[in-house]
Amino acid sequence: MRKILVTSALPYANGSIHLGHLVEYIQTDIWCRYQRMIANEIHYVCADDTHGTPVMLMAEKENITPEKLVELVHKEHSQDFNDFNVSFDNFYSTNSIENKELSESIYKKLANNNKIEKKEIEQFYDTEKEMFLPDRYIKGECPKCGAIDQYGDSCEECGSTYNPTDLIKAYSVISGTPPVKKKTEHYFFKLSECSDFLEEWTRSGTLQLEASNKLKEWFEAGLSDWDISRDAPYFGFEIPNAPGKFFYVWLDAPIGYMASFKKLADKKNLSFSEYWEEGSQTELIHFIGKDILYFHALFWPATLSFSGFRTPSKIYAHGFLTVNGEKMSKSRGTFVTARSYLDTIKNPDYLRYYYFSKLNDSMEDIDLNLEDFIVKVNSDLVGKFINIPSRTSGFIKKYFNNIIISTEEISIQDSKQIIDDLISIKEEVISLYEARLFSKLNRLLMSYTERVNEYVNRLEPWILAKNDAEHTSMSMLHQVCSTALQSFRVLSIYYSPVMPDLTSKIAEFYGESNYQSIEAIHKNIKNISDYKHLLTRLDKVSVDSMLRKNSI
RNA sequence: GGUGAUGUAGCUCAGUUGGUUAGAGCGCAGCAUUCAUAAUGCUGAGGUCGAGAGUUCAAGUCUCUCCAUCACCA
């Protein structure tokens, strides 16, 4: 049995969860649920990422403390994840005592290992607001093309890059006043000394090929030291023995994975060190978006390694979500929050299925085409999948008192073959889940779904039913419908990590509780309940109203 | 600007190490069927595989150039 600690990236605590976030949580959740089904010990943790300037400023704007803001957002996020059936074992916060202690202790270990250095740097300062300004809080005119309201690092109009000092008529986004340069002392993590370790680590099979290609570029450019401190005022953890200096949010964010697990371990009596000590035999797997590869594949393993902890076993990066082929956009209404999806479309399994049908192990972006979404849900799930019990269970009820023939007792050659094949693809299903080749797996499962429908068409139970002799137990009619229903059950078990709500209703239909093990495919089922519609069609009206809700 | 990726039927995507007439699902057309929420099955139309050049007996698959889209640049 493998012991695996899995994480999804921490959502930032200044906004709502949206469909883009959900790609990752759904991908990770499906993978975790699959691991549970094959009886591995798995712990899935996450947390809100709470620190930094944006949260601080937002709280100020809303006239509440950052702690209060973070608490409110945490409540909202937890509810969203819960309603999308994201099965975290712990969803915590980086603003926690565990995280504070771990961050401090890791920092001290890095300092003891001579990996921390103080340097004086110059930064922009807002004299009215009395705070140092991160680059993205400085705007001005592009020095190359003169476009107004461009950020301090690059121009969105002409694409040129430059330093904030190059901006014309620079101003602070917070107060509007022109920023001035001011000296300040910062703490740096000496990442430049970690190149050898990191080059080796990134080549040790922990990354996807695309990701390590990407990293090669950074190594070639040479690694610079990493500024891990920020000046007050800042919402975060104060650096030990450095009054007025705080840990940069990206230092304590990944440590939040540890902290969340620490909390879980305390609660469930698990061994924290078994999972985190150097040389740990357990697996540590991070699911992330490709945008934060830098932090997870460079800073994070270096931080861990030079503070005496184990490093991640795998980093699984995925691409971004586009909607209707374009970047999510508030004005087009495609910046869809998790909540508005739930309010209008209701069923999380639709989205889970759609993402499942498109995800694979690469860093490519995936597109949520809303028309395709409607059509795919309706034809795959309602038209083909749910159609199987819908078209056969009536006969079982009417003529056989809801009793179906168990798999072993089915004797027609055709029928036997279908079920045997379905059982025999178990290993293939497992390996596709394991490799995160979800779209490929879906094609496999859908091809079986089609095969069952084809089979029913060919054997024509509705014709058989006209003959009274068929109304006795073990008749052809009984066999055909039983085959369809037994096959459907196996398919449902395979699909259960994807659609937990739907498949738990299906389990009920067979008089079972939720499918917790893939071995359930071998169980002998003899009874069904009366069939009730398991799924309704998705209509364009609800998708449209979802878009309207998100339009501004 | 630099770097990494992507570009295959109307839509969403498969296409192992280059090898016979390029595939699937949906959509569309026709037929069959009526058990099923007009669901299902069969048949068919539809692609010069972003453009151009090259390597090769043979390229969607390798090389180069260009175009378009996306991301990253700490």
How high is the ipTM of this complex?
0.90
Structure tokens at A411: 């004797």
Round to whole Å and give the CA distance between A59 and A53. Answer: 10
Round to whole Å and give the CA distance between A158 and A148. Answer: 11
Round to whole Å and give the CA distance between A356 and A85. Answer: 14
Phi first, then psi, for residue A112 (nearest 5°) are: -65, -30
SS3 A151: strand
Q: Is the CB of A440 under 7 A from strand B?
A: yes
For residue A38, the model assigns a pLDDT of 96
pTM (predicted TM-score): 0.94
Nearest Cα to Cα of residue A443 among A429, A461, A464: A429
Nearest Cα to Cα of residue A236 among A394, A30, A73, A49: A49
Give domain status of residue A530, yes or no: no
Of A318, A341, A369, which one is at a domain's C-terminal end? A318
Round to whole Å and give the CA distance between A514 and A85. Answer: 13
Give domain status of residue A537, yes or no: no
- Whether residue A48 contacts residue A94, with contact meaning beta carbons closer than 8 Å, is answered with yes
CATH number of the CATH domain containing A133: 2.170.220.10
Nearest Cα to Cα of residue A328 among A367, A291, A356: A367
A60 and A152, same domain (yes or no): no
Average confidence (pLDDT) over A23-30: 94
> In this structure, which long-range contacts are made by residues A377-384, counting pairs with CB atoms below 8 Å and at least 24 apart in sequence?
A377/A350, A377/A353, A377/A537, A377/A538, A378/A537, A378/A538, A380/A353, A380/A446, A380/A449, A381/A350, A381/A353, A381/A502, A381/A535, A382/A535, A382/A536, A382/A537, A384/A446, A384/A449, A384/A450, A384/A453
A106 and A120, same domain (yes or no): no
pLDDT tens for each residue of A88-140: 999 999 999 999 999 999 999 999 999 999 988 888 888 888 888 887 788 88
For residue A160, the model assigns a pLDDT of 60
Residues 193-232 of A with CB under 7 A from strand B: 210, 213-214, 216-218, 221-224, 226
Peptide bond into A233 cis (omega under 30): yes
Give domain status of residue A323, yes or no: no
Q: What percent of chain A has pLDDT over 90?
A: 62
A94 and A199, same domain (yes or no): yes
SS3 A337: strand
Q: Which nucleotide is nearest to A535 (CA to C1')?
A: B37
pLDDT tens for each residue of A248-269: 999 999 999 999 999 999 999 9
A136 and A183, same domain (yes or no): yes
Residues 450-469 of A with CB under 7 A from strand B: 450, 453-454, 456-458, 460-463
Of A278, A300, A318, which one is at a domain's C-terminal end? A318
For residue A150, the model assigns a pLDDT of 73
Number of domains in chain A: 3
A280 and A257, same domain (yes or no): yes
For residue A67, the model assigns a pLDDT of 95
Q: Is the CB of A443 under 7 A from strand B?
A: yes
For residue A398, the enclosing domain spans 387-522
pLDDT tens for each residue of A486-523: 999 999 999 999 999 999 999 999 999 989 999 999 99
Q: Is the pLDDT of residue A549 over 90?
A: no
The partner residues of A337 in beta bridges, in order of sequence, read A18
Nearest Cα to Cα of residue A82 among A342, A407, A370: A342
pLDDT tens for each residue of A287-344: 998 888 888 988 999 999 999 999 999 999 888 888 887 777 776 777 889 999 999 9
A180 and A200, same domain (yes or no): no
Nearest Cα to Cα of residue A213 among A225, A202, A198, A197: A202
A212 and A166, same domain (yes or no): no
Q: Alpha helices of A187-248 — where are they, by DSSP H?
A: 195-202, 209-221
Nearest Cα to Cα of residue A31 among A497, A348, A536, A514: A497
Give domain status of residue A354, yes or no: no
Give domain status of residue A22, yes or no: yes
CATH number of the CATH domain containing A77: 3.40.50.620
For residue A460, the model assigns a pLDDT of 93
Q: Is the CB of A325 under 7 A from strand B?
A: yes
Q: Which nucleotide is nearest to A367 (CA to C1')?
A: B12
Residues ≥6 apart with Cβ < 8 Å to A50: A13, A66, A70, A73, A93, A94, A95, A235
pLDDT tens for each residue of A155-210: 666 556 666 677 778 888 888 888 888 889 999 999 988 888 888 888 778 888 77
Give domain status of residue A374, yes or no: no
Average confidence (pLDDT) over A22-33: 94
Strand A245-247 versus strand A229-231 pairing type: antiparallel
> In this structure, which long-range contacts are made by residues A196-201, counting pairs with CB atoms below 8 Å and at least 24 apart in sequence?
A197/A302, A197/A305, A198/A223, A198/A297, A198/A298, A198/A301, A198/A302, A201/A301, A201/A305, A201/A311
**Interatomic CA–C1' length for residue A219 and nucleotide B4, angstroms:** 13
Q: How far is CA A361 from the centre of its chain?
A: 13
Structure tokens at A127: 């004299």
Of A276, A298, A318, which one is at a domain's C-terminal end? A318
A71 and A200, same domain (yes or no): yes
A32 and A129, same domain (yes or no): no
Give domain status of residue A169, yes or no: yes
A146 and A72, same domain (yes or no): no
Q: Is the pLDDT of residue A277 over 90?
A: yes
Nearest Cα to Cα of residue A379 among A537, A161, A496, A541: A537
Give domain status of residue A180, yes or no: yes
CATH number of the CATH domain containing A517: 1.10.730.10
Nearest Cα to Cα of residue A57 among A160, A150, A131, A164: A131
Q: Is the pLDDT of residue A154 over 90?
A: no
A152 and A223, same domain (yes or no): no
Round to whole Å and give the CA distance between A274 and A3. Answer: 10
A273 and A166, same domain (yes or no): no
